[in-house]
Homo-oligomer: A and B are copies of this chain.
Amino acid sequence: MTTKVGRPLRADAERTVRAILEAAERVLAQDPAASMERIAEEAGVNRTTIHRRFASREALLEAMTLAALGQVREAIEAGRPETAPPEVALHQITANVLAVKLGWRFALTRPAPEGSPAARAQEEIVHRCDTLLAKVQRAGLIRPDVDVTWARQVYYALLYQALESAEPADLDARAALVVRTLLHGIG
């Protein structure tokens, strides 16, 4: 359960919820143990307002993660993994996902609680990723003997690392670096 109320929210309330989610991301990215008070302050909102929309701290985190994963999902779909040529899709998706991850560093790093909707969303994305990588492998860009799971883990690790490192500044350049390193290493 994400929000407390089921009925559709008024426009201003909707805006407030988004502001809270985004503030939470900003604050928690800096300090994962930050209090609700601190998040409320960053959102320009009273602490009680957060509790009005989210049943608990946990619920807020869940909502953040779900929102972020939704955007990752869109980022993947925008790369047309099914139809585009594998190498094009790989590059495009890498760039798109990097962009999303830049804005949702905390939410996307946090391990989702077992069995939660967020965990399911994560699994679905993992599955899509595996499908894409398998396709790339069939296209001959990945050696046939490489385990897809290991391929995905390395891909994830490189995506994460490309976020931490400051350069290159350009998103496409970063994506290219990730893909090149993934496929050919540095040797």
Query: Are the CB atoms of A154 and B161 closer together than 8 Å?
Result: yes
CB contacts (< 8 Å) of A182 on chain B: these are 185-187
Query: Are the CB atoms of A146 and B186 closer together than 8 Å?
Result: yes
CB contacts (< 8 Å) of A34 on chain B: these are none
Question: Can you tell how many copies of this chain the complex includes?
Answer: 2
Q: In residues 170-187 of chain A, which contact B (Cβ within 8 Å)?
A: 177, 181-187
A128-165 interface bits toward B, Cβ cutoff 8 Å, 1 = contact, 0 = none = 00000000000001110010011101101110110011
24 pairs of residues in contact across A and B, judged by CB atoms under 8 Å: A33-B33, A141-B187, A143-B186, A143-B187, A149-B165, A150-B165, A150-B186, A151-B186, A153-B161, A153-B164, A154-B161, A154-B186, A156-B161, A157-B157, A157-B160, A157-B161, A181-B185, A182-B185, A182-B187, A183-B185, A183-B186, A184-B184, A184-B185, A185-B185
**Additional A-B contact list (17), CB under 8 Å, known A33-B33, A154-B181, A185-B185:** A142-B186, A143-B186, A146-B186, A149-B165, A150-B177, A150-B186, A154-B158, A156-B161, A157-B157, A157-B161, A181-B185, A182-B185, A182-B187, A183-B185, A183-B186, A183-B187, A184-B187
